[in-house]
Amino acid sequence: MTQLQFTDIQETSKIIRAAEIQIELPSTPVKYYRHGWQSWSLAAWTDVTPFPMQKPTSFHPYQTDAVYAREPNPHGSWLGAVEFEDGNILLLGALATDTHVFLLQSQLTGRSEADEVEWFIAYGSESKIFDEYVHQLGIRFGVAVKNHAPRVWCSWYSLYMEISEKILHQVFDGLGDLPFDVLQVDDGWQKNIGDWEANEKFPSGMAALAEKIKSTGRRAGLWLAPLLVAKSSQLFHEHQDWLLRDEKGNLVTPGINYWGQDLFALDVTHPDVISWLAALMKRVRSWGFDYYKLDFLYAGAMQGKKYRDVPREAAYRQCLAFMREAMGEGAFLLTCGTPILPALGICDAIRIGPDVSYEWENRLYEYLLQNFSSPSTKNAIRTVVNRLWLKPLIHVDPDVEYFAAKENTLEEEHKEQLRDLALVCDFKATSDLPRWLTAEEREKLRSFLIASPKISKISRYKYALDDRMVDFSSAIELTKPPKGFDALLGIIMGWAGNIKFFIKFFLSLDNVAKKRRASRI
């Protein structure tokens, strides 16, 4: 182990190679920056006291890094920082994958799951230190070519899985001359998770759908979750030898999601899996889609016994690079549900927060279960704002913005925060249906899509958009843990959330609500 005193790094930044590194702090910090593992995992400056474990634990595989989900000390993936009373910070950040940082009493500790790696260590003002860290990451991982962030319409938040060829044609025609660059078809087009062919709702096939999109003058985008396999899929029945297993030989599950069935993860080191994924990416391109949204990618970096003995995040990064190469020249790759650092330099854009929602916050998840990775507009804004330091490296996707009052319960001020955050990120998307928009809302959407304000950072949560000040502080504070009866209720709900029957029951209720909403188009 490499041990450093604070005086060793107080004057200048350092890069040190070590498998484990420990820095003795000069005083008790007032805040700790915990950086979540993947797109939806919490990123925030928090108190240095023990953090309540996110519940239910059955959600850990697809909301956190399950390897560290029960760690009681403040911690985070690849980097951690402490803030002192004078406002200066000390940052310890890995310049490699498969690393983790902990605040252990009076020490900031970094550990590698593999061999010795490079660590960046610096003390000073937050903006200066993160800028230096970003520069070092760019040297080692690469920087995305950022000539233009596409303006995207996607089907998910209005239609969910209730999409069809007929419905999408109506939507595409209704968008008229709104200045979208990409029309992205989301979940609901495929036969199954793992069987990536058009289902019966798309009788003309996916090539015809892409052609319809391109006839409007836009790029054709498609959603896939290529590293997941559903138990009911043909792929599962034909190639169980492709799936990731634990040390006991059991299949590794990335969790039950809204599909309501058991899911499994592909072993991304298996040569046949790599060939299959490359062929899938080429097939999607041959259909005419050149904007890829690949989702639930964390499955490729889960812990398990693999075909090749490669560190889990390094294996995922290699797999992602193979898929990117197979897409061909000119493709745009947006990664979602992805471990963050392993995707840098390979994709064009990364979703950097959890899903937005038609509600500001959810009492069950954020209060009773202390789950800040669940979908809500407040959760999304909090994590995105705390990851904006990534912007020089990659297009940062904050998820969609809302314009229509129809089918939306958010207060206007919260919708405005989402839109302002998208302007700061310079990544614009919506899922609002054309027929929901009033004439005024349609023009507001048009103005938003063509807006290009000058962005200046004022402080951690404040930005200037031209001459207008924007403050995201109202989304930052974490809900305090419940007490008394509410604490007991949280324990009960957390317990129920770990029982498959209850999970499927609540997922079915959520899916019914989504279907009801989508049926109102």
Question: Along the chain (521 residues), what's the average pLDDT of each consecutive run of 10 residues?
Answer: 81 91 94 97 94 88 93 96 96 98 94 96 96 98 89 96 96 97 98 98 98 98 98 97 96 86 96 98 98 98 96 98 97 98 98 96 92 96 98 98 89 96 98 94 97 96 97 95 92 87 70 64 55
pLDDT number for residue 322: 98
With residue 76 as reference, give the H or E element that holds it: strand 75-77
Q: How far is CA 138 from the centre of its chain?
A: 20
**Long-range pairs of 202-206 with CB within 8 A, sequence gap ≥ 24:** 202/164, 202/165, 203/165, 204/165, 205/287, 206/284, 206/287, 206/288, 206/289
Q: Which two tokens stand for residue 3?
A: 């041990």
Distance in angstroms (rounded) separating the CA atoms of residues 285 and 220: 10
Kindly report whether the peptide bond that precedes residue 453 is cis, defined as omega within 30 degrees of 0.
no
CA dihedral angle for residue 208, residue 350, residue 328, residue 168, rounded to 10 degrees = 0
> Do 435 and 521 form a contact (C-beta atoms < 8 A)?
yes
Contacts of 374 (CB under 8 A, 6+ apart): 59, 63, 354, 362, 365, 366
> Do 387 and 395 form a contact (C-beta atoms < 8 A)?
no
pTM of the model: 0.96
Distance in angstroms (rounded) separating the CA atoms of residues 1 and 19: 7
The amino acid occupying position 178 is L
pLDDT number for residue 209: 98
pLDDT number for residue 380: 98
Among residues 249, 480, 499, the alpha carbon closest in space to that of 372 is found at 480
pLDDT number for residue 51: 82
Q: In what order do the strands lie in the sheet with 107-112?
A: 2-5, 20-24, 107-112, 99-104, 75-77
pLDDT number for residue 517: 65
- 302-336 burial code (b ≥16 CB/10 A, e <16): bebebbeebbbbbbbbbbbebbbebbeeebbbbbb
pLDDT number for residue 508: 66
